[in-house]
Structure 1
Amino acid sequence: MNKYRSKILLVYTGGTIGMIKDYETGALKAFNFDELLNRIPELSHLDCEIQTVSFETPMDSSNMNPEHWIRIADIIEDSYSDFDGFVVLHGSDTMSYTASAMSFMLENLGKPVIFTGSQLPIGDIRTDAKENLITSIEIASLRKNGRPVIQEVCLYFEYKLYRGNRTTKISADHFQAFASLNFPPLAESGVHLKVNEDQLLRSGRKKFKVHRDLDPSIALVKLFPGINKTAVRAMVMTDDIKAVVIETYGAGNAPTDQWFSDLVKEAVSSGKFLVNVTQCSGGSVMMGHYETSSHLKKAGVISGKNITTEAALTKLMYLLGSGVGPKVFRTIFETSLRGEMD
């Protein structure tokens, strides 16, 4: 009896990993993924079948927006029954945003969707692209008891597999470009591939569903010493803004100036959803732990707990697009839906 070969769909959206250097001119040009096996013969040793699909016009991830997220979700949904896993090649700059958004858009995911990319082009001598790509495909191919080992949206970079909605890009220069400071890696690649199965999400047998309605009517306010009323009001009280993520200090602390407290109360009273996340790389919001956060809690600000800014923003888009009512909005946001917070 032949051993089962996983079928993996490689989705190229753009980014450095899809570029190759012309050594005669020094210029970068798009890589033809139809020639993947010729360029990376190591892939032929993986026990899987690889097919590729690309965005019509590959893009720099700085131009990524919710419309492109929907395009990725469409590709996955259209191919869901035909493939065992998906590897999405994406520019690193906004990869954490896209991976976070995809985690909310793909409900009851029973197969791996792994985002990866690289800091150097695939044809560069010192590139990290080959290892990231090969290991991402290998992880997407893992099966146990006839089912995929990974059943969630992940991000793989520099020997570590992370839950996608727990990641943040931390470096523009180092190969270790991403971190997940509030949640351990799901897998680590060394001499052996070690999967931390106790940390994995399991969808059960529920029906896979794609959510396409995203509402980007949100704003992000990063507090800093000296921030003024005019700037905060302009971002928080704009009519078209329905929700605001406030990046506070430390464990969720903010100025206790009267103007700031009054503005927060006014925004919440007007029906806007305000979410408190820490601007620290790691750690959690604990509103009420200090006096400088008690006024936010009393005003009805939502606790982001230890969620990343990327996940907070995309979760708001998802909840607003889903039409979640004001009476349950806070409760649902403060509840972990895809393993995005503790």
Structure 2
Amino acid sequence: MTKKPNILLVYTGGTIGMVKDYKTNALKAFDFSQIVEKIPELQQLNCNINSISFKDPIDSSNMNTQYYGDIVDIINENYLKFDGFVVLTGSDTMSYTSSAISFMLENLQKPIIFTGSQLPIGDLRTDAKENLITSIEVASAYKNDNPVISEVCLYFEYKLYRANRTIKISSEQFEAFTSLNFPPLAESGVHLKFNEHLIYKSNKEDDKLIVRKSLVDEVVVLKLFPGISNLVVESILNIPNLKGVVLETFGAGNAPNSKDFISLLKNAIDKGIKIVNVTQCKSGNVIMGHYDTSLLLREIGVINGKDITTESAIAKLMYLLNKNLSEDEFKKFFEKSLRGELTDKYHF
């Protein structure tokens, strides 16, 4: 790329945007318009940096579908003006948020890198500077006049991941995220090395960005455990206006095969509620029918989540439920990779 890439920082809230007032020891919001003055190392990057902050930055625990829409609006409004985006959010819900954004933006041709930190940007031992600097470097990376990354990613502690493959694994370690079912897209050491063969590319290079803001949030996660009562399951499945369920099962997608339990699920499916089978295991995938305890789930129409994460399954449910799809179409699209969020085919 002959000209310097223009990168937009989007600050929604979170630890990375806090600095300590050393007189009071209290944390206060960082002014991102002064980012280059506060972090002079950014001047060494081959890009121009601008920033937009939420008027009222939020704690990531308060993140919801309305804020997803606000993030998407900012990106959409600035899509033609900038070559890449770095979105700063709190790490607690970053996997949920970044997964949702990956579905909401169709035909994406530019990098959107989510990052944050475990310690505020002004702390002596902060991880914020490295995460921010490298995220901007990733968003600025070009090869043959094309961005190296053209998907939604999450960067944390020397690893760049596909966002909709990530889970948060630690509230204390700097290595807060991982992607156990898909390798990192890049690793940062002495050199920034991209695993280019893994990077997702849109097939429709000439098409404009399509924004899908409407999400259905009438969904729930139902995590099974030994001894879960049918009364609890029935109560959850009878939530008014419930549209979708992420059913967290055991191992390779197994669940109780008692007549009453299966009947509750079948009744819900017959009412039009979409139920997706996702394993509770941090890695591996659902294999419907591999054991007798998942055979009945397949027979009654439970959807195979394969190796999708719970965070991504929730986002994909919210996205697809607004599409007015038939039962067969919904199953087909959920079990198919739309943004690289699951592995289409396995060999056993």
Q: Identify whether the pair has TM-score above 0.5, normalized to the shorter chain.
A: yes
RMSD over aligned CA atoms reads 1.0
Matched ranges for 1:181-196 at <5 A: 181-196=180-195
Report the TM-score when normalising by structure 2: 0.97
Aligned to 2:116: 117
Q: What residue is the counterpart of 1:142 in the other structure?
A: 141
Which residue of structure 1 lines up, in the alignment, with residue 260 of structure 2? 259
- Specify the code of the residue in structure 2 equivalent to 1:36: I
Can you list the C-alpha shifts for 1:235-254, whole angstroms capped at 9, x where unaligned?
11223101111000000000
Please give the residue correspondences for 1:185-334 in structure 2 after superposition, counting only pairs within 5 Å. 185-203=184-202, 204-334=205-335
Confirm or deny: 8 A CA contact 1:214 1:322 kept in the other structure. Answer: no
Q: Is the CA contact 1:220–1:246 (under 8 Å) kept in the aligned structure 2?
A: yes
Match of 1:55 in 2: 54
Give 1:334's aligned amino acid. E
1:3 CA drift (Å) = 4.0
CA contact (8 A) 1:218 1:243 kept: yes
Structure-2 separation of matches of 1:119 and 1:334 = 34
Aligned pairs for 1:85-124 (under 5 A) are: 85-124=84-123
Q: Which amino acid counterpart does residue 274 of structure 2 have in structure 1?
A: F
SS in 2 for 1:216: coil
Residues in 1 aligned to 2:184 and 2:238: alpha-carbon distance in whole angstroms: 39
CA distance in 2, matches of 1:205, 1:186: 24
> Residue 244 of structure 1 aligns to which amino acid in structure 2?
V
Q: Report the AA paired with residue 270 of structure 2.
A: S
Deviations 1:270-309 (A, max 9, x none): 2111100001101100010001111101111000000000
* Alignment-derived partner of residue 346 in structure 2: none
Aligned length: 341
Give unpaired runs (5+ residues) of structure 1.
none
**For 1:239 and 1:58, how far apart are their aligned partners in 2?**
32
What amino acid is aligned across from residue 10 of structure 2 in structure 1?
A: V
What is the identity percentage for the equivalent residue pairs of Structure 1 and Structure 2?
A: 60
Bigger shift: 271-280 or 234-243? 234-243
CA separation in 1, counterparts of 2:313 and 2:143?
32
Deviations 1:142-166 (A, max 9, x none): 0111111100000000000000000
3-state secondary structure, aligned to 1:246: strand
Give the 5 Å matches for 1:154-169.
154-169=153-168
In structure 2, distance between residues paired with 1:103 and 1:257 = 38
Per-residue deviation, residues 106-125 of structure 1 (Å, max 9, x unmatched): 00000000000000000000
Q: TM-score, normalised by structure 1?
A: 0.98
In the TM superposition, what is the alpha-carbon distance from 1:173 to its structure 2 partner? 0.4
Counterpart residue number, 2:172: 173
CA contact (8 A) 1:61 1:94 kept: yes
Query: How far has the Cα of 1:171 moved from its partner?
Result: 0.3
Deviation at 1:325, TM superposition (A): 2.6
- Counterpart AA for 1:254: A
Counterpart residue number, 2:77 = 78
Instruction: Give the Å deviation of 1:324.
Output: 2.3
Deviation per residue, 1:55-78 (Å, 9 max, x gap)? 010000000000000000000000
Q: Structure 1: which 4+ aligned runs deviate by more than 3 Å?
A: none
User: Cα deviation per residue 1:10-51 (whole Å; 9 max; x = unaligned)?
Assistant: 000000000001122111010011111111000000000000
In 2, Cα distance between the equivalents of 1:299 and 1:326? 12
Amino acid at match of 1:270: K
> How many angstroms apart in 2 are the aligned matches of 1:27 and 1:281?
36
